[in-house]
Amino acid sequence: MDISVLGGLVVRENGVSITPTAPKPRQVLAMLAFRADQIVSVSALTEELWGSRPPRSARATLQTYVLQLRELIGTALAQDPADAPARSAKDVLVTMPGGYLLNTSGGRSDVREFELLAGTGYRAMDAGDFPAAARQLRDALSLWSGAALADVQTGALLSMEVRRLEETRLCALDQRIDADLRLGRHRELLGELSVLVSRYPTHETLHGQFMLALHRSGRRTEALETYQRLRRALVRELGLEPSAALRRLQRSVLMAGPETAAQDTQATAHGADRGVRVGQGAL
């Protein structure tokens, strides 16, 4: 089974889509796909579908959605090789005590791949291997084709999973940009960072990285203007001043050359003293 949630929801068995078009069964499949090879309780599925006030018919309706998914799975299983062990839809979408489990039979999940590649990239950063870190993190980020579950109606539980994934995506992006800055790729980053700071107007780390890339590219005035835009956004939206790390970076840009600024502000590329603040919008 191949599962993709880093963008639209796509689940395939034997290369055949088992993703329903109806919103509620699609929501059930998304829950099972997010927790593939793990039991998803009936109570969790019910909460996701109907919140805190499920209808009296919730359990029977959920069973209907499961049957619809199994019909799609059964069609896909017809493509199994003739010499393969016989499987039924119930072997793939398994009824367990208290819930259901989507059995991938060791198949691919883009979330698992992303987390594995990102973890390898973080370890390379910690070891000072910036070329490997940039490569691994770029590969991890390339798995995303848009916002997670962009085409799925999400309830409270899936919305929480989507937010968690978006945070991990932003963390990987931050680290990849940091690795590229350490490799001297500041000019190549200017276009990307210009878009990112517009999408995340109160994100200190991205603004600090943009300031550093601008300054190293000889664009000191624009680096200082970037700081002022960030400060106005923080005061207006959060009632906060920029962190000490960002203020140090501003002083370095005002008083020093690019090399000194870089040495004084490496901590900024890892996140400001107050932590990462994320503005509105999706990548």
Which domain range does residue 129 map to? 108-183
**Within this chain, do residues 98 and 129 fall inside the same structural domain, yes or no?**
no
In the chain, the number of structural domains is 3
Residue 130 lies in a domain: yes
**Within this chain, do residues 158 and 209 fall inside the same structural domain, yes or no?**
no
Of 103, 132, 161, the last residue of a domain is 103
Residue 218's DSSP bridge partners are none
d(CA 201, CA 179) in angstroms, rounded, equals 22
**Within this chain, do residues 200 and 282 fall inside the same structural domain, yes or no?**
yes
Residue 2 lies in a domain: no
Of 76, 103, 130, the last residue of a domain is 103
Give the CATH number, domain containing residue 235.
1.25.40.10
Of 161, 183, 205, the last residue of a domain is 183
Question: Which pLDDT tens digit goes with each residue over 165-208?
Answer: 999 999 999 999 999 999 999 999 999 999 999 999 999 999 99
Got the DSSP string for the chain? -EEE-SSS-EEEETTEE---SSHHHHHHHHHHHHTTTSEEEHHHHHHHHHTTS--TTHHHHHHHHHHHHHHHHHHHHTTS-TTSPP--HHHHEEEETTEEEE--TT-EEHHHHHHHHHHHHHHHHHTT-HHHHHHHHHHHHTT--SSTTTTS---HHHHHHHHHHHHHHHHHHHHHHHHHHHTT-HHHHHHHHHHHHHH-TT-HHHHHHHHHHHHHTT-HHHHHHHHHHHHHHHHHHHS-PPPHHHHHHHHHHHHS-HHHHHHHTHHHHT--TT-----SS--
Residue 13 lies in a domain: yes
**Within this chain, do residues 84 and 114 fall inside the same structural domain, yes or no?**
no
Residue 1 lies in a domain: no
Give the CATH number, domain containing residue 52.
1.10.10.10
pTM of the predicted structure, to 2 decimals? 0.84
**Residue 191 φ then ψ, to 5°:** -65, -45
**Within this chain, do residues 22 and 91 fall inside the same structural domain, yes or no?**
yes
**Within this chain, do residues 224 and 191 fall inside the same structural domain, yes or no?**
yes
**Within this chain, do residues 147 and 227 fall inside the same structural domain, yes or no?**
no
Question: Which pLDDT tens digit goes with each residue over 106-159?
Answer: 999 999 999 999 999 999 999 999 999 999 999 999 999 999 999 999 999 999
Question: Which pLDDT tens digit goes with each residue over 215-246?
Answer: 999 999 999 999 999 999 999 999 999 999 99
**Within this chain, do residues 216 and 171 fall inside the same structural domain, yes or no?**
no
Question: Which pLDDT tens digit goes with each residue over 10-54?
Answer: 999 999 999 999 999 999 999 999 999 999 999 999 999 999 999
**Within this chain, do residues 201 and 257 fall inside the same structural domain, yes or no?**
yes
Residue 203 lies in a domain: yes
**Within this chain, do residues 200 and 178 fall inside the same structural domain, yes or no?**
no
